[in-house]
Each structure stands twice: as C-alpha cells, then as structure tokens.
Amino acid sequence: MPKLYEYLGFIFYFYSHEHLPIHMHVKKADRESKCEIYYDKEVYLKWKKVTDKKS
C-alpha cells in the first residue's frame, strides 16, 4: 500500500491492483474514507465512508 501523503494525522494511500473507478483511501486513527476520482474535462471527487469503529 503506497502512501501518497501524510498531513496532521491523515494518511492518504492507495492499493496498486484495485478496482475502478480510480480512488484513494484516507485514514486517521480508526476512521477511513475513500475518494473516487472522476474526470470529464474537469476532475470530480466523490467521498465515501468506509469504516467508523467509534460508537
């Protein structure tokens, strides 16, 4: 899992042979989201919550 960037405890990373659409994962503590990247003349980002282990 290559790490793209780390800032204020947020870790931005991706898995190399994963499914489409192109996306990256973002993790901080026990929470994780993924951001799907779409492009058609402009770039669009769509965020989805992956895990939230807090009660």
What is the tens place of the pLDDT at every residue in 1-52? 688 889 999 999 888 777 788 888 899 988 888 888 888 888 888 888 776 5
Please give the model's pTM, rounded to 2 decimal places.
Answer: 0.65
Per-residue pLDDT band at 55 (split at 50, 70, 90): very low
Q: What is the pLDDT of residue 7?
A: 92
Single-letter amino acid code for the residue at 38: Y
Q: What is the pLDDT of residue 52?
A: 55
Residues 41, 44: Cα–Cα separation, whole Å: 10
